Amino acid sequence: MSDSTTAVRPLDGVTVIEAGSMISGPTVGRILADFGATVIKIEHPAFGDHLRNFGPQKNGAGLWWKYLGRNKQSVTLDLGSERGQVVFEDLVSEADVLVENFRPGTFEKWNLGYDRLQELNPGLVMLRVSGFGQDGPYANRPGFGTLAEAMSGFAYLNGFPDRPPLLPPTGLADSIAALFSTFAVAFALYHRDVNGGSGQVIDTSLIEPIFSLLGPQPLSYDLLGEIEERSGNQSNSSAPRNVYRTKDDRWVAISASAQPLAMRTLEAIERPDLRDDPRFADNAARVANRDELDAIIQEWMDRHTREEVMARFEACDATLGPVYNVEDILADEHYRAREAVVSVDDPDVGEVRVQNTFPRFSETPGGIDFLGPALGAHNDRVYGDILGYDAETLVELDAEGVI
């Protein structure tokens, strides 16, 4: 089961308002909530976060929502209404962090720009995630992760040279931007609370974080005049590096970027004679002759099952891993030993397995208390217990469609 709700977590005492939808902003909120922050998730009263209806469903519950909405306090609020904006100001006055991923200018249209919010709360850290950032020629364009994956150079590099650029099957750019944003929030809180600084705005685009992870491409272009091209599962920097089909129609991956690892790979495939072959003597030679090397490795794989391959490579201390699907992951003893997947009981879908909190902390681990809650499940708690609104006010706000 997930960690106890009574355990001390590193962000206990931090209050976060999450006013966003879909993947990028909600992923930031999910990570902060996993590690103890009180994350108040604001959703429109009529339809909630679009994530609730995105992707696979079970018993009418969106599984993306169950994952990214976990540990959050769901409240409903119409930010487009004047009274809703007043309620939002009350919430922000009590918060440490505001996370939003609307198109730039939306919060200003609602009279909720940072200048106004900082007047109410000088220490507020406001994270703004958008497709192209808060300024620049493309700032007002609609932005989604797919566009960032295309324009960052990722899709151009991803795939095989004789096939079109390949987009990822999941929200990669959104998730990478969320990871950068999460540690940016931690940096800003450290500056405020340890260095005696003020609150500030964090401006994250979807396009820049994924671009930054693609290696020294600008350096290669400026200094060498090179534009890296698609190379499939091979690497332009090291060999062998590929996926290989085994005798029993399974797949394994090899990465042998260091010289000792490459030599162990040759031993594992029972070809120690290739160590002295000038085509494979060092990494530069192996990269130049990687197709020939892959053909030799594949011929050996054709004669062995995946279990045999893994046993042989482990015996030679060579680097190889099976290509897993989720069924493989859930059955793997290493994942189980590290409790990388835990079971959580949910009122909508029952007891179900989900990714645990990462990374692991020795003294203040994260934990999963519950999966994504029902729309507005915490209205009474947040508006009544935290903001102190009386029952009559809550009934009035509900009747007006504000919450």
Task: Please list the active-site residues.
Answer: 174
Distance of alpha carbon 243 from alpha carbon 116, whole angstroms: 54
What residues form DSSP beta bridges with 201?
126
